[in-house]
Structure 1
Amino acid sequence: MSFLLRQFSRFAMMLFGVSILAFGFTEFAYIRHSSFAQTSTLWQHILNYFHFLSELFHGNFGITQHNAAPVLSTFIHKLPASIELIIPAIIIAWLVGVPLATWAEKKPGGYIDRAVQTISVAFYSLPVFWLGLILMMVFATGFELFPVGGRIDYIYDITPVTGFALIDTLLSDKPYAFEAFIDVIHHLILPIITLSLLPLSYVILQLKAGMETIHHSEFIMAARSRGMSNTRLLWVHSLPNAIQPVIASMSLQFSVLITSTIIVEYLFSWPGIGHWFLILVQQQDFIALRGALMLIATVILIANIATDLLRYLTNPKLRRE
């Protein structure tokens, strides 16, 4: 219970801090672009902030200038498209990263270990935008194996039900529903690969570093002296201990992943939250940007709490505290 109270209080304080930053940045930008706003006083800006908070408590996150659409409903409408990229990217990062890191640690300093280390460092260092461009140029415009952008081909008329294109195509009663489902997967491959490379390389590098440290610890040496095999040492002792810091840092990586999603969505014309957010920036829709920033921050904070909860459930030491 105390854990939940701590998480809730931290969530409330961080959300309050985000509201100040979101309002401050957008208010400053509005002043810079409006001659009328330059005559306003500090007290008026403070009143505007409390009015902004009042609207948030009533569920009003603003209205877009372009089409007068509520920010909250637009965010909810765009969210499934972003989830279709983020969740598979996280799953790929863990399903591929954990076995690769463990496999490389079977023979530290060997060819496989050095190859995995080098490739992971390269993917971790290169900008996401550059990686996406390379993949697009090679596999989309070069070999023409994948579409350049978009979520589904325009020849398919699929009625949105859940907002998730993969699910909507399966629920559709159109005769070409399965073809549309395959087409959505076809459109997903390049954006997901681009988005998953950064968290994948991070998981590999963090796990390898953790297992290398644990590999030289006393309890591992004692287990080895009793004749325990290297494979069992890795999977039973090294990996469970090395994975805890990686889980602990997932909240930070999720924040980085959200930033990468904005870039990837814009690059591949993916109609998600990131693409919509950049359009608001281009249109200088400061009122809508405030609400969008608050909603994105809320999602990130909820993900952080979920990560801490996962760490709490998988770490007996935290449960005993």
Structure 2
Amino acid sequence: MIKILTRYITLFVLTLLVLAILSFSLAYLFPGDVLVNLTGITPQNNMQRDALIRQFKLDQPYVFQFIYYLEQLLSGDWGYSFISGLPLREEIGIAMPATIELSTYAMFIALVIGVPIGCYAGLRSYTAGDYAINSVSMISYSFPVFWLALIFILIFSLQWGIAPLSGRISLLFDVPNHTGFVMIDIMLADNIDKALAYKDALQHLVLPTLAIAIITTASMIRITRRSIIEVLNKPYITAARSRGLSKWQIFTQHILRNALLPILPLMAMQITTLITNAMIVETLFSWPGIGNWLIQAIYQRDYPALRVGMFAVASVVVTLTILIDFFNRVIDPSREKFERGTV
């Protein structure tokens, strides 16, 4: 266990180091003067320019500039936004939880709906019901997430008027930002009608969540179905049937447990798609997440925000992927033996 943990920690640190190098390089890849891109200040004279160059270590070799950049990241001094003038650490701390909250709800719906339907389709494989489920899931997975979100806005918001068009919660509710997760912040808020606030927040949440969850659920159905079919063809299932076990006993004791293990590493692969879809949907629903925040930074050419924001998003994706993969390795030790045997 210690060896596996050490391996994952090393992988995590090296991956973050590569991401930091790429993030540092963006300052030189953006169009324009590097000094202006980092500070947002156009020097009026050589004296001011020299002072800014010394402040940001631009007069030193790239290696020392990168070390200084790492020190700033580790100390929490991520710079300031050109647009708002606020520290980027605070702005990302507000925007990132909104994206994680949206992605979490979508993944929860995908697991609750996708896994049972996938199990049913796998157990009834190559029947009319399986073909119907497989067709619907394939069509749903083929929908572009931005198109699905626009259809929801057109029908449920503009035509029927049963769901809010944009935002996270109505401006009538003064909900302080304690954690960044609106449902938790409502619970911690004072002097508001929490029942009405929860109702309003859910109304704002339902459309963007469904836009992401439909595609994620379709993917989960197909993954679960394929895993169930593979387990059904294993010799130990035939042996269980020969011992006279009922279908329910075979499913709960042999099929379900062995079919769900391969789903975990595949879930790790879905994290990137899930967060990417969430960032796209945020821009359409004006959801105050990291995706919408980055789009605004692109429009305003807020280069420090782009550099740190991209690093933050990539770090979250890498962290969640490695954690899920590590958790899967812990609950399924045989995977290590299998992987070593197939190298």
- Give the TM-score normalised by structure 2: 0.84
Residue type matched to 1:305 in 2? I
Check conservation: 2:122, 2:226, Cα contact below 8 A: no
- Give the whole-Å Cα distance in 2 for the aligned partners of 1:235 and 1:35: 61
1:133 alignment counterpart:
150
Within a 5 Å distance, the mapping from 1:26-41 to structure 2 comes to 26-29=27-30, 32-34=31-33
1:240 alignment counterpart:
257
Once the two structures are TM-superposed, the CA of residue 105 in structure 1 deviates from its matched residue by 2.3
- Give the whole-Å Cα distance in 1 for the aligned partners of 2:138 and 2:32: 42
What are the Cα deviations for residues 34-82 of structure 1, in whole angstroms up to 9, with x where unaligned?
4988xx9998655543432232233222221112211112111223322
1:262 alignment counterpart:
279
- Give the whole-Å Cα distance in 1 for the aligned partners of 2:311 and 2:178: 26
2:130 alignment counterpart:
113
Check conservation: 1:106, 1:234, Cα contact below 8 A: no
Check conservation: 1:194, 1:264, Cα contact below 8 A: yes
1:8 alignment counterpart:
9
Work out the percentage of aligned pairs sharing the same amino acid: 30
Change (3 A) 1:291 1:125: same
Matched, 1:277 2:278: no
- Give the whole-Å Cα distance in 2 for the aligned partners of 1:59 and 1:23: 15
SS in 2 for 1:2: helix
User: How many aligned residue pairs are there?
Assistant: 318
Matched, 1:191 2:208: yes
Check conservation: 1:195, 1:264, Cα contact below 8 A: yes
What are the Cα deviations for residues 72-101 of structure 1, in whole angstroms up to 9, with x where unaligned?
121112233223211111111111111111
Check conservation: 1:101, 1:205, Cα contact below 8 A: yes
Higher deviation after alignment, 72-81 or 267-276: 72-81
Check conservation: 2:27, 2:34, Cα contact below 8 A: no
Q: Name which one, 1 or 2, has greater alpha-carbon Rg.
A: 2
What are the Cα deviations for residues 237-296 of structure 1, in whole angstroms up to 9, with x where unaligned?
222222222201222211111111110111110011121121112222222222112222
Unaligned runs of 5+ in 2: 37-52
Change (3 A) 1:302 1:146: same
Higher deviation after alignment, 225-234 or 113-122: 225-234
Matched, 1:289 2:306: yes
- Give the whole-Å Cα distance in 1 for the aligned partners of 2:152 and 2:209: 11
Check conservation: 2:122, 2:224, Cα contact below 8 A: no
Once the two structures are TM-superposed, the CA of residue 210 in structure 1 deviates from its matched residue by 1.4
- Give the TM-score normalised by structure 1: 0.90
Within a 5 Å distance, the mapping from 1:125-204 to structure 2 comes to 125-204=142-221
Residue type matched to 1:155 in 2? L
1:304 alignment counterpart:
321
- Give the whole-Å Cα distance in 2 for the aligned partners of 1:175 and 1:190: 24
- Give the whole-Å Cα distance in 1 for the aligned partners of 2:18 and 2:71: 15
Once the two structures are TM-superposed, the CA of residue 25 in structure 1 deviates from its matched residue by 3.7
Once the two structures are TM-superposed, the CA of residue 175 in structure 1 deviates from its matched residue by 4.9
SS in 1 for 2:264: helix
What are the Cα deviations for residues 108-158 of structure 1, in whole angstroms up to 9, with x where unaligned?
122321121111111222211111111221222122221111111122233
- Give the whole-Å Cα distance in 2 for the aligned partners of 1:139 and 1:112: 30
- Give the whole-Å Cα distance in 2 for the aligned partners of 1:59 and 1:176: 36
1:95 alignment counterpart:
112
Match of 2:98 among 77, 81, 91: 81
- Give the whole-Å Cα distance in 1 for the aligned partners of 2:233 and 2:178: 54
Unaligned runs of 5+ in 1: none
Check conservation: 2:123, 2:229, Cα contact below 8 A: no
What is the alpha-carbon root mean square deviation over aligned residues?
Answer: 2.6
Change (3 A) 1:135 1:236: farther
Residue type matched to 1:282 in 2? Y
- Give the whole-Å Cα distance in 2 for the aligned partners of 1:93 and 1:141: 27
Once the two structures are TM-superposed, the CA of residue 168 in structure 1 deviates from its matched residue by 2.5
- Give the whole-Å Cα distance in 1 for the aligned partners of 2:91 and 2:307: 14
Match of 1:227 among 227, 237, 244: 244
SS in 1 for 2:261: helix
Higher deviation after alignment, 107-116 or 49-58: 49-58
